[in-house]
């Protein structure tokens, strides 16, 4: 009787590796997708790399705002490099297999970098709040020491929790299937493969999403609530337009990243859909890093001037 209750022997071998199905349901678009994602990856590296470079070398951009922007561009390069190269290799080779350790490492890196992005966006919102609501005290408050501390805090904040969450998820028995219907190792598709009681794991995902995604998002909303209140009190329309222009780029990135991330990790597990999850994941892993340099350069005169000087040199 006990033998009947045990999973088949071959199901345990699935723990050695997973299969990332990715876009295998559209094999006729294989090379089209490869060309598209390769172009996107190149644009992300070039765009964010350029922003990172000019914020380091241009004297006019040596302010807290551009200090955080440069580090945000570096983060975007790291974030997209965890998923896109692997996806490109899978599209070319059609192997799609990923080892158990590699899958856990990829997930851990994505979760940590995602948490860093949430906190860094909150820090950037706080920087705009101080600049607009307390302009006279801005150089005193946002000094180099505080900026460095905020940056280090953002980079270290999510590491312990996300490492623990990764270990917890990969300690589950995956005895039903080893096929992940996704283009990278993410929490929702992996939990759908786990057998046994995953209630605790789902609760940990919700807790992590609230602490590492929702709390920074609420802090951003509070900052921008005070910013908008201050802007509306400015005497001239020109002053209001200038103040709004310094915030609009950041708000666009915040809306794109947090909107897709909150829907992915805070929606009920019974409403999980692999197709929807892939689309949402494309937004916060690829679309946001792609549009980050565009929205910050096209709507920022200082960045445009720095780019012109850099290109002339």
What pTM was estimated for this model as a whole?
0.88
pLDDT in tens, the chain (313 residues): 444 444 444 444 446 889 998 888 888 889 999 999 999 999 999 999 999 999 999 988 999 999 999 999 999 999 999 999 999 999 998 888 999 999 999 999 999 999 999 999 999 999 999 998 998 999 999 999 999 999 999 999 888 889 999 999 998 888 768 899 889 999 888 988 888 788 888 898 889 888 888 899 999 999 999 988 888 887 777 777 777 776 777 788 888 888 888 887 777 766 666 677 788 888 888 888 988 887 777 667 788 888 888 777 6
Say if 5 falls within a structural domain.
no
Say if 8 falls within a structural domain.
no
Q: Any idea which residue has 């022997």 for tokens?
A: 9
In angstroms, rounded to a whole number, what is the distance separating the alpha carbons of residues 107 and 172?
15
Q: Any idea which residue has 């494309």 for tokens?
A: 282
Q: Are the C-beta atoms of residues 133 and 126 closer than 8 Å to each other?
A: no
Residue environment code for 121-155, b if the CB has 16+ CB neighbours within 10 A, otherwise e: bbbbbbbbbbbbeeeeebeeebeeeebeebbeebb
pLDDT score for 10: 44
Number of domains in the chain: 1
Strand, coil or helix: 24: coil
Concatenate the DSSP letters of all residues of 245-272 into one string: HHHHHHHHHHHHHHHHHHHHHHS-GGG-
CA proximity to 168, closest of 194, 137, 146: 194
In angstroms, rounded to a whole number, what is the distance separating the alpha carbons of residues 295 and 252?
8
Say if 4 falls within a structural domain.
no
Say if 7 falls within a structural domain.
no
Q: Any idea which residue has 């033998």 for tokens?
A: 3
CATH number at residue 126: 1.20.1070.10
pLDDT score for 257: 86
Say if 57 falls within a structural domain.
yes
Say if 201 falls within a structural domain.
yes
Q: Which helix (H) or strand (E) holds 244?
A: helix 237-266
pLDDT score for 176: 66
What is the CA angle 150-153-154, rounded to 5? 85
In angstroms, rounded to a whole number, what is the distance separating the alpha carbons of residues 115 and 212?
6
Beta strands 17-20 and 97-99: pairing type? Answer: antiparallel
In angstroms, rounded to a whole number, what is the distance separating the alpha carbons of residues 272 and 130?
40
pLDDT score for 271: 63
CA proximity to 227, closest of 198, 251, 261: 251
Contacting residues for 185 by C-beta, under 8 A, at least 6 apart: 18, 20, 98, 103, 104, 106, 107, 110
* DSSP state, residue 20: E
pLDDT score for 7: 46
Say if 214 falls within a structural domain.
yes
Contacting residues for 222 by C-beta, under 8 A, at least 6 apart: none
Could you list the residue range(s) of the whole structural domain that residue 114 is in?
A: 15-312
pLDDT score for 60: 87
Say if 1 falls within a structural domain.
no
């Amino acid at each position: 009787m006990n033998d009947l209750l045990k999973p088949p022997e071959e199901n345990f071998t699935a723990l050695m590796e997973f299969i990332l199905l990715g876009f295998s349901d559209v094999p006729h678009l294989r090379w089209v997708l490869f060309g598209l994602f390769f172009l996107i990856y190149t644009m992300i590296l070039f765009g964010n790399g350029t922003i990172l470079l000019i914020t380091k070398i241009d004297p006019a951009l040596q302010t807290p705002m551009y200090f955080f922007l440069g580090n945000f561009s570096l983060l975007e390069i790291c974030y997209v490099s965890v998923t896109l190269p692997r996806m490109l290799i899978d599209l070319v080779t059609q192997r799609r297999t990923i080892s158990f350790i590699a899958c856990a490492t990829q997930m851990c890196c994505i979760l940590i970098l995602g948490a860093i992005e949430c906190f860094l966006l909150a820090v950037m919102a706080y920087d705009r709040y101080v600049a607009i609501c307390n302009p006279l005290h801005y150089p005193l408050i946002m000094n180099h020491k505080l900026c460095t501390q905020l940056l280090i805090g953002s980079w270290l904040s999510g590491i312990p929790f996300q490492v623990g969450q990764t270990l917890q998820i990969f300690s589950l028995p995956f005895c039903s299937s080893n096929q992940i219907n996704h283009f990278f190792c993410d929490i929702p598709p992996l939990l759908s493969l786990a057998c046994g009681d995953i209630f605790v794991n789902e609760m940990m995902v919700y807790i992590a999403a609230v602490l590492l995604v929702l709390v920074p998002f609420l802090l951003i909303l509070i900052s921008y609530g005070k910013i908008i209140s201050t802007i509306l009190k400015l005497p001239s329309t020109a002053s209001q337009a200038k103040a709004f222009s310094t915030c609009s780029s950041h708000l666009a990135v915040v809306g794109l990243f947090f909107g897709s991330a909150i829907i992915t990790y805070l929606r009920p597990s019974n409403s999980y859909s692999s197709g929807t999850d892939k689309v949402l994941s494309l937004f916060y892993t690829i679309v946001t890093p792609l549009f980050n340099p565009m929205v910050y350069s096209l709507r920022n005169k200082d960045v445009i001037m720095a780019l012109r000087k850099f290109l002339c040199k």
